[in-house]
């Protein structure tokens, strides 16, 4: 955990943000995963504003962001005390997971405390909670002395923002939206979500940088992957699980190793300007026999964590450059790639000029 102290100027900015939240306003804030669109989790009207500003259907539940008390020499945080105002039936597995991964990119689903507003949970009896690792997020939450609901700070269905400038471009029309600048997000894709609410076994709802393998090796806990049937029943609960999501407006497709030209075949000849992401570990494409297509190569990291941290940045940048088509290499097999594979597949499905008409988060 970083103990970097912020400058007096940013202290004043954070205090202003706390006041804005306290008064029922919205503040976009940095986390280590992506930027969130924050509101006081105890203020129903402020939460309504989050849904209308994002254009998100109101039955899609939000994550409550919490923070440990500001005691720098505290070796062990009492996470049970931190989540107690929001959650009940906190199991031993939950304590192990919080101790191992918080603050960090792991969201846990609990049975909710009765005080938690139905606006947050989409009327369900469960609540999602996460303690972000970014020092600005932590300070904001501590000073507000509440939880902060924070969906990713993008318009519904679009690519999540990983910089303050991304948030600004998502909400250009929203005059006066306060945005805290905490630099580029290190993780780059949204948190791993684990459902603990059944009291039975933990279930993975959204893959992220923290994998079931890492959880098993650090805590001994076995996380179950949702079965096919279960995934279907979860669709309305986890908006990130809608097929179309994280979508650029330029058509996006994946290509299998060495098969760039195959990926072009479903597009008419007019698709002549194509941006192709290539592994930095591999040599450039051989453009054998396709003179009508102009390829522009962009290197992407062959390390999964580095790839994740650059994924949304690269998609946004390419989307703004006006290519006819964007091609990405299919991520290799392995849990460490599951998070980015999940985001890329949904981004492909929702991509294209009409992507705003697809239903998604
Ligand atoms: O990394 C992250 O988690 C980021 C940063 C800002 O913290 N937040 C984020 O929020 O990704 P959002 O709203 O874009 O995605 C939250 C996901 C949604 O897919 C939602 O359906 C799911 O969490 N979720 C929230 N409450 C839930 C619940 N009670 N049961 C199941 N899923 C839930
Ligand atoms: Mg989102």
If asked whether residues 269 and 196 sit together in one domain, one would say no
If asked whether residues 145 and 226 sit together in one domain, one would say yes
Task: Mark residue 53 as left, alpha or beta (left: phi above 0; alpha: psi -120 to 50; beta: remaining).
Answer: alpha
The confidence score (pLDDT) of residue 295 equals: 86
Quote the CA–CA distance of 31 and 10 in Å, as a whole number: 16
Q: Which domain holds residue 191?
A: 2-234
Where does ligand 1 bind, in terms of residues with CB under 6 Å? 31, 33-34, 36, 60-63, 105, 107, 109, 121, 124, 126-128, 130, 132, 150-152, 190-191, 193, 205, 237-240, 361
Residue pLDDT, tens place only, 177-215 = 999 999 999 999 999 999 999 988 999 999 999 999 999
Residue 332's contacts (CB-CB under 8 Å, 6 or more residues apart) are: none
The confidence score (pLDDT) of residue 224 equals: 94
* Residue to mutate (ligand 1; options 88, 123, 152; most atoms within 8 A of CB): 152
The confidence score (pLDDT) of residue 153 equals: 97
For residue 200, being part of any structural domain is answered with yes
If asked whether residues 154 and 128 sit together in one domain, one would say yes
If asked whether residues 171 and 258 sit together in one domain, one would say no
Q: Which ligand is nearest to the CA of 29?
A: 1
- Rounded distance from Cα 240 to ligand 2 centre (Å): 6
Give average pLDDT by consecutive 10-residue segment, the chain, 361 residues.
50 96 97 98 97 89 94 79 97 97 98 97 96 96 97 93 96 89 97 94 96 98 75 46 77 90 75 89 65 85 97 96 94 96 92 55 46
Listed residue (51, 73, 69) closest to 60, CA to CA: 51
CA-closest residue to ligand 1 atom 32:
238
If asked whether residues 284 and 228 sit together in one domain, one would say no
For residue 247, being part of any structural domain is answered with no
Burial of residue 285 (number of CB atoms within 10 Å: 0-12, 13-18, 19+): middle
Residues 94-101: contacts with CB under 8 Å, at least 24 apart: 94/196, 96/219, 96/220, 96/221, 97/194, 97/196, 97/202, 97/215, 97/219, 97/221, 98/131, 100/215, 100/218, 100/219, 101/210, 101/215, 101/218
* Residue to mutate (ligand 1; options 190, 209, 339; most atoms within 8 A of CB): 190
Residue pLDDT, tens place only, 93-106 = 999 999 999 999 99
């Amino acid at each position: 955990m970083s103990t970097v102290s912020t400058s007096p100027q940013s202290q004043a900015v954070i205090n202003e943000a706390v006041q804005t939240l306290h008064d029922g306003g919205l503040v976009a804030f940095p986390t280590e995963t992506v930027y969130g669109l924050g509101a006081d989790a105890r203020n129903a009207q402020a939460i309504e504003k989050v849904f209308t500003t994002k254009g998100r259907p109101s039955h899609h539940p939000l994550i409550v962001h919490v923070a440990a008390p500001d005691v720098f020499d505290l070796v062990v945080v009492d996470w049970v005390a931190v989540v107690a105002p929001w959650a009940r039936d906190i199991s031993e597995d939950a304590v192990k997971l919080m101790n191992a991964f918080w603050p960090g990119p792991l969201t846990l689903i609990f049975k909710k405390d009765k005080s938690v507003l139905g606006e947050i949970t989409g009327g369900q009896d469960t609540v999602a909670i996460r303690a972000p690792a970014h020092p600005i997020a932590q300070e904001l939450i501590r000073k507000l002395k509440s939880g902060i609901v924070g969906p990713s700070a993008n318009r519904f269905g679009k690519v999540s923002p990983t910089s303050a400038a991304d948030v600004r471009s998502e909400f250009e029309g929203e005059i006066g939206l306060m945005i805290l600048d905490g630099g580029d997000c290190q993780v780059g894709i949204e948190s791993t979500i684990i459902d603990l609410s059944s009291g039975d076994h933990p279930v993975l709802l959204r893959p992220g940088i923290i994998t079931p393998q890492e959880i098993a090796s650090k805590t001994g806990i076995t996380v179950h992957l949702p079965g096919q049937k279960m995934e279907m029943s979860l669709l309305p609960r986890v908006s990130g699980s809608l097929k179309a999501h994280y979508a650029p407006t330029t058509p996006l497709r994946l290509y299998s190793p060495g098969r760039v030209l195959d990926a072009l075949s479903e597009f008419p000849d007019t698709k002549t300007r194509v941006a192709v992401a290539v592994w930095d570990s591999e040599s450039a494409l051989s453009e054998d026999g396709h003179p009508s297509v102009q390829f522009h190569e962009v290197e992407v990291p062959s390390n999964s964590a580095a790839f994740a941290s650059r994924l949304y940045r690269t998609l946004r940048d390419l989307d703004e450059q006006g290519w006819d088509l964007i091609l990405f290499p299919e991520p290799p097999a392995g849990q460490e790639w599951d998070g980015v594979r999940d985001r890329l597949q949904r981004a492909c499905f929702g991509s294209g000029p009409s992507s705003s008409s697809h239903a998604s988060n």
